[in-house]
A and B are shown apart, each in its own frame.
Chain A
Amino acid sequence: MTPSQVALIWAGLVGIVAILCGLRVRRRLHLCVGFALYLLAVVVTESLALVDPDRFHKAWFYIWKEAVLNLLKLAAGAELAWRVFRGFPGAWWRARFVLAPLLALTTLALVTLPRGSTAHDLVFGYQAQVNTGAIWLLACTAVLAAWFHLPLHAVHRAILAGLGGYLALSAALLEWMRVGGLYDDPNARVAIGLVNSAAYSLMLGWIAVAAWQPSEVAVRMLPPALLARLKLDPA
C-alpha cells in the first residue's frame, strides 16, 4: 500500500469513528442500525488490512470483505426505507411495489457471484451493478418520501445523499475503468482508487456532520404525541 492509500484509509476510519460516536452521543444509533453495522464491518476489515497487510491485503480477503459489505449496504438501504415508511401504512403499501423488486434484483445480482470468482470478476462484473441497484433503492426511497410528503430525519437525509453520491461515483469509476481497460494500468488503478477513497472520506464527513448536529428546531417544537404518530425521533 502506498502512503496516500494508508492516509485515506486512516481518514476513512476516523470518519467512521466520528459518525459512530456522534450517533451514540446524540442517541441516534437506533435510527440506522444497518448503517452502523456496515460502518463497524468497514472498520474491522480495513483495520485487518492495515494491521497485517501481508495476510489481509489479498484477493481472497477482498472478495469476502466486499461481499459482506455489499450485503450490509443493501440491508442498510432496506432498513432506511422501512424506517422512513413504517409510520405510514398506506405509503408503505405503495412504496413496496417499487422498493421490493429493486431490493430483490440487487440481492440477486449479489448472490449470483459464482464460486472461484476473482477480484477482477467481482469488481468489474458485479460491484458496479450492486452499487447501481443500491443507488436506485436509496433514490426511490427519497423520491417516494417526498412524493408522499413524509418527514425525513436529518440523519436519514444525510445517509441517502452521502451514500447515494458515493455509490454513484464508485459505480461510474469502476465502469470507466472497465470500458477504458485501465485495470491493467497500475498508475491509473492507484489514481482511481485514490479518487474513490477520497469520495468515501467525503461521504463519511458529510454523514458525521449530520450525526453530530443537534436535532432540527422544527422537530423539537412538535408535541410528543405527533412525534410518536410520525415515528420521528426528537434526538
Chain B
Amino acid sequence: MTLVIMAALVPLVGLLLVLGRYNASRVLTDWTVLAPRPRAEGDIEEHVALETAVLDATLAAARGAHGQADVSEVVRLLGLAEGAIAEAIPDRVARIKVMSRLCRMAAAVAPLPAVPWRSFQLGTTSGLAALASFAHHLLVSTHERFWLRLQVLQGIFRLSARAMATATRRAPARAAEAITLFDRAAHDWKAGDQEFVESVRVLLTSLAARPKAQAVTAPQR
C-alpha cells in the first residue's frame, strides 16, 4: 500500500469513527444543561441562592426546635434539608461534567485560584481542597487547573451531602452533635456553591471571548 493510499485512508477511518460515535442529542443536551437560557450564569446564581435560602431556613428552624428540646422536629427538619441537598446533587454533578467537557474549547480560561481549603470546616472537604491546592501548583495550563477545580467542587458537594446524611442519621440519638455536623456540612456546601457559581461565570465569559480581541478577566466577587 503506497503512502498516498495510506494518507487517504487514515483520515477516513478517523472521520468515520468520530462521526459514528458522535451523539448529536447528547451534545445538545449538554449545552442545554449549562445554558438553559441566554442569562445562564444569572439563572444558575439564582437557583443556587434559592437552595441556600431553603437550607438556611430549615437549619435555623432545626436549631430553634433543638432549643425547645423537640428532637422529633429536629430530625424531621434535618431530613427535609438533607432531602433538598440530595435532590440538588445530580444537578451540580451534571453541570460540572458538562463544564469539564466545554472548558476544552474556551479560548483562554481566566486564571482562577485553587479552591481555598480554609473556606471549609469538615475535615474531608478541607483535606480534599488542601490536596487539590498542592496539585494546582503542579499543573501548567489554566485549562488543567480549571478542570481540577471542577473535580474538587464535585468532590466537595458529594462529601458535604454525605456529612449531612450522616448528621440526619445521628439526630435521633445525639441531636446537638448532629446539628453541629449538619451546620458545618451546610457551610461547606455553600462555600462550594460560591466557588461553583464563580466557575460558571468564568467559563461562560471564556466561551464567549475572542482571543486577543477581548480580554478575559476574572470577575470580582
* Contacts from A to B (Cβ < 8 Å): 88-91, 93-94, 128-129, 131-132, 135-136, 138-140, 142-143, 146-152, 154, 157, 160-161, 164-165, 167-168, 171-172, 175-176, 179, 216-219, 222-223, 225-226, 229-230
With A and B bound together, what is the CA distance between A172 and B9 in angstroms?
8
With A and B bound together, what is the CA distance between A150 and B27 in angstroms?
7
Chain B positions within 8 Å of A179 at CB level: 2
Q: 0/1 per residue, B70-112, Cβ < 8 Å to A?
A: 0000000000000000000000000000000110111110000
Chain A positions within 8 Å of B210 at CB level: 89, 93
Which range contains the number of B residues in contact with the other chain?
Answer: 35 or more
- Contact in complex: A223, B37 (CB < 8 Å): yes
- Contact in complex: A131, B8 (CB < 8 Å): yes
Select one of B5, B25, B29 contacting A175, CB under 8 A.
Answer: B5
- Contact in complex: A91, B8 (CB < 8 Å): no
Task: Tell me how far the C-beta of B172 lies from the nearest C-beta in chain A, rounded to whole angstroms.
Answer: 46
**Complex interface: stretch among B15-23, B119-127, B134-142:** B15-23
Chain B positions within 8 Å of A132 at CB level: 4, 7-8, 11
- Contact in complex: B19, A90 (CB < 8 Å): no
Q: A164-B12, A219-B28 are in contact. Are A149 and B5 (CB under 8 A)?
A: no
With A and B bound together, what is the CA distance between A230 and B32 in angstroms?
10
Which chain B residue shows the least CB distance to A175?
A: B4
- Contact in complex: B11, A135 (CB < 8 Å): yes
- Contact in complex: B8, A128 (CB < 8 Å): yes
Say yes or no: is B24 at the interface (Cβ < 8 Å to chain A). yes
Task: Tell me how far the C-beta of A232 lies from the nearest C-beta in chain B, rounded to whole angstroms.
Answer: 8
- Contact in complex: A151, B209 (CB < 8 Å): no
With A and B bound together, what is the CA distance between A131 and B11 in angstroms?
12
Q: A90-B209, A154-B24, A218-B24 are in contact. Are A143 and B35 (CB under 8 A)?
A: no
